[in-house]
Structure 1
Amino acid sequence: MKWTARFRGTAKNQMSLFYTLFGSFIAIIVLLVSINWIAFTFFRQNIREEIILNSSLNLNATAANYEKHIKLVRSFLLGYLFDNDTEILKRGDPMRRYDVVVDVQKSLAHDLNNTSLYLDNIVYYFRGDDFIIDRDGTRDADTMFSKFYYEPAYTADFWKHEMDGEESFKVYPAASFASVTPFERKPLGTLLPILVKNGYDRAFAIIAFLNGDRIYAAFHQAKPSSTFFIVDGGGQALYSSDSHLALPKALAGKTGKGYVRIGDSYYFYRTGGETGFTYVEKVPDKGLAAQLRRLNLIMLGLLALSVLIGLAVSYWFSKRFHNPLANMIRSVQSLRAVGVPAGEGSRIKEFNLLHDTLSDLSRSNREYHEDLLAKNNLLQQFAYMKKLKKIHGGGEPLPVTFESDARYRLVLSQIEFKDRFAKEIANAPQRAFNMYKELIDAHFSSRYDDSLTFQLEKDQVLTILFVKSERGAGHRGENMDELVRMLGTDIPYCNFTIAISPVRSHSADFAETYQDVLDLVKQRRLGEDVQVIGEWVPQPSLMIPAPSEEQELTANLQAGCDEVTVPLVNQLLDQLARAGALAYQFQDFAKDVVNRTIKILYAQNISFTAFAEGGSPYEQLKSCYTLEQYKTFFGRFLAKSAEAVRAKKSETDIITKFVMEYVEERFGEDLSLDAIAGKLGITGPYLSTYFKEKTGTNLSDYILTVRINKASQMLRDTDLLIQEIASLVGYYTVASFNRVFKRYTGLTPSEFRRSHNR
């Protein structure tokens, strides 16, 4: 009774828990809203300046993009201007060098496929010949600029006049070009013409058309109702995003960077350091005011919404806190009133429900704990993979038990399945791989505590060994004999390479150690066995084949002479073996020979699939593990390719035979295309096209090959002076002969003679 009276006396001076919580939440909401409103009022004064600054930064980024791209286009066009093919066409009649014209046209078509250049076309203009070359073909200047790229301001006469100037690079104002035919007028878009030429050359120029609208959309983030201009150093407008608006005269001569307000608009300008162009963006003031009004409305709406949500959430939380506590207090009061201890009373439904809930939670906790233990190994594997491959993702890092000073070493096992496995044990590679992984895991688990083995790639198994004693830190190849013996029984089906790292003591070196074992795996040598690699041995650079051997191989591949190519390739393979080449170096050499052979076959219009046996030669190379297997493969492959080449050569017609015999007999005389064609009574372009179609080789390349082969023979077998040899093979100066000979063989004539004398 005393307790009851005391409780009633104090209750008169207390508030309900619900109202206390609700009032506290409202006070916090009012405080936060006040702080937000004061902050918004303070920072609103600076919003206009921030918007202006943002517009300036946007224009700076646009100017930087334009400057960088114009510099790129300039370098790209200058590369065409000084290209060898360009020089050849400029020195003579371009219409007579059909082969060079075709090469230039193909190069233009290829490079214009690069959409990141935003170039619509590139035009070679030979003023004296009134001759045009572009990606679509050749034509005269009047046809080009009156039909295919028509714009009244940019006629053929205009470009002739511009070529009289001394500027080597000039960008002209953008205009709307169109393709005009008797049937339709097809718009080409807004293009910025660019002229590139030698400052003192008035006979040749390159004209490029830059797509103004596409580059504007890519480089500039336009604001609502804004207009963008580009002005050159002379004040002439080169481009405008709105052709109906002109730049105010007050901006004439403005350079540098900044902004001015004219009327009800802001004009932001920025001058590029590379081109001297001034980039201007017009932003209406009403746009800034609209942004401020929109920001005010959004802020007021957010404040009102936050207050409503805060009140609703406060009420909900207050009720959630108040109801359970009130029920508990009423239960305690009723229990105390009847004298029942608080810990008893199992007859009450709520207490029984609470007991059952806690029991369910305890049981669920045990089940979750067991499930987490079962998945811990998988989680560890994934975490180690992240460390090995330096994968950085969002969120908290995965928990990995790895002390910073723990000693460890990595063992990487690479398993390579052979063709016999695929034939005899089909549809089970993953099952076999898992068996090998479990075998490796069992081997190391019996020798190292807490070792971890998991699949890292489709053909690699990684084992992490935690070294806790000096015995475990010994020679890294120890305790491997038993594993090698077990894996060795499956050598007919698989090759195994095991790389062992040294003991490391810092977890920060984990990824570096993994890279070390990856490099060790590449140290595998030829052989069908289990190779354990524990030390990295530096490999000397292998210059195999030598330039002379490479030349000999190419010449005999082209001639279809397998009695030379097969022994030569076998000799090169023996050289690799004597030099201690690694397995991947044999693969690289073999792929190079196959690539060279296939290119020669395609150059002569021969499809290697017609005689390929056993599938792709690249797939067959993957099954070569020994030196004899490589020799067997090349003996079969090169014989087939030579047979195909000889069969193709037997189809040679009388014109091609005459040209080849004529060049062989008169390699030191004038062998121009027109001179040879005159002997046959046909035109030079027809002969060039005919010879290329029949042999797969340009006539000029064939003449060069014959002359270089004759010169090489004289350098090896005679004591004639280099100047005399140059004259005998049709070169009037030693300098030009030296330059061509080195480009073809990789050596100067003097170096070539010295190497063969040795």
Structure 2
Amino acid sequence: MKTLVGDLLSNPTAVQLYREQKFDYYSAHKLYRSISEMVLLQQESYLENLIVIYSKHRMAVEIGGVKDARDMFAHHMIHQQYDYPSWERYAGATHFFDILPAANFDSKRGDQLIKADKSLVPMLVKNHLYPQMYGIAFFDTQKMLSHYQTSINDRLMIVDGNGEIIFSNFDMSTELFAELLKADDYLEDGDRYFFHQKGEFSGLTYVHVVPSAWLSSEMKQINLFIAGMIFLSLLIGLTISFWFSRRFHQPVKSIVEALKSREALQLKDSGIMEFSLIGNRVLQIQQDLQTQQSRLASHAFANKARRIHDDFSALQDMQLIDEPFHILLFEIEYRQEFAEQIAQDEAKPIYYIREFIACQFDTWGERHLTFQVESNQVVSLIFATADKQDYYEKLEGLKHIFDLDRDAYLITIVLGKQYRYFSEVSYAYERIRQIAAMRHLGLGTQILRDEEQQWQEIPYTFQQDQELHVFLQSGDITGIRKWTYKMVAYLERHQANARHYRDFSFSLVQRVNRSMLAQGLELEALYGVEEQLSECYEQNDYLHFFSRWLDSLQSICEKRKDDFDPILQEVFHYIQENYAAELTLERMAERLKLSSGYLSVYFKRKSGMNFLEYLNQVRIEKAKELLQLTELKVQEIGEKVGYTSSNSFFRMFKKWTGLTPGDYRRQMHEQADGSRENS
């Protein structure tokens, strides 16, 4: 549970909420849903509630929703020892995990105090990276006691390392407790025995009470049982020893020694058929065990890389945990023609590539684990301390082999740095994935090194955005063409990688297509351009694509001069002129003297989007202009473009742009300032 709560505090939503200067209720609602799911899934742990508190906002998110933290502990989780200032003191301590004494938390309904019918144990967890955020998990003591208590009765006391009682359902004097702690394992007091044991992980001391009479009765039964078992064991042992000594003699000794040493069994011809069968079976088991250990290690490391919780104790015997390792990533991208050929069995190529990589490492004499993480990714962990340059030279040989199939697929190899601990696998995997995204333009296999390089965004200026906006508004395909080629040259000057080119191209295509649709152009002929972009690997590929794409747009625009749709043009014109009004499909249909159902189907078929999508697109584009060119408040801008609710405006703006209105305005101003500084 400590790990689960810690993972929740590292959740991107929780961290984003922590970093916001102003409390974001939308993110808080997402965190609330995560908490509700966790509490539901952890019913077997008897988790009653989980509260995440943000000290700087004085807000709390729990299974009941989002609340003011002070109000929560004053009306919903009431206990004299645990008011809000007390929690802040607990959280302000230097340790990041603590189990606190159980308590009954009351609640208020109006002025009426409702007494709690159950006792809860609080567990406080903090993340050292975010000191003003902490989580409190509450567990039902009675349910835990009834499930986990295996003694003859339910009398139990739990005490922490400072001598403070965490939970107790019986009374015990201070003097008696002090004597008990001095005793090794138990203490006899009258007709009772007190047994205590300290938890290895938690550091808590558990005290059980057992009546002397019951213990005496049990000891008599155990003594009788042990005596009977000893007699029976001696009888069986003598019989079996006699039979085995006559039947097997030295062959049994050979098998046992082979098993103890874990070395491959060396079979000798003993002339006994049973021994031969056993020996062959033991040899097969040893071989299967080695194979299964390798698979188990690959599975465990793959889960660790993807942050999947698992039990890694089985790896201890393989001596792989906390052994230094280099990490390598092989990311495969199939070319379109080859991808179509393997569509029926797409898992086979990655399997062959993985086995080839593993064979190469075996040939080089490296101790390694090579496993598939994703459908297009193979990861190798090399357990050695060789110099990184040695691996780079060996990978150059692999590169030449992979390049023989460059017409079928491209491979990006990332050579990560050396890591010391198994716990770093997740970070190492995320790091090499980031490096893989920095692949350069070009065909063939590329080898990238983890040299502390970071992803660099290409700084697009406000002026560049405005130029494209003007061309789009006027439908000037020639202007769009010149702007596009100029931006390709701009990317080249900034040494853009393949991801930069692809992101720019997809963004441009989507933006131009939306604008053309908004102007009433039917773009069925341009469907599938995303597949064409996926086959662009060099700058000339992108230039040829843009040439073909813009030529098609030019033809469609010229054809439009001869095709005029009065219904579509009336809808476009009316929305452009009246977007700030309360427009609906029904009112538009009434204006055109058509049924709303017919207009909905007609508009969708002709424009490629429904009526409400187009209306929201026009409103958001107008809002973007006002955010860039005016100093009006965000709420006023929302009202000017037709949104009566600030929440509706914020939600729709973020859906279309990926940013809040405030973030968009700030980004545009920063780009404009940067452009002026450069000029």
Q: TM-score normalised to the size of structure 1? A: 0.45
Q: Compare CA radii of gyration and give the structure with the larger one.
A: 1
Between 1 and 2, higher relative CO (CA 8 Å, sep ≥ 6) is seen in: 1
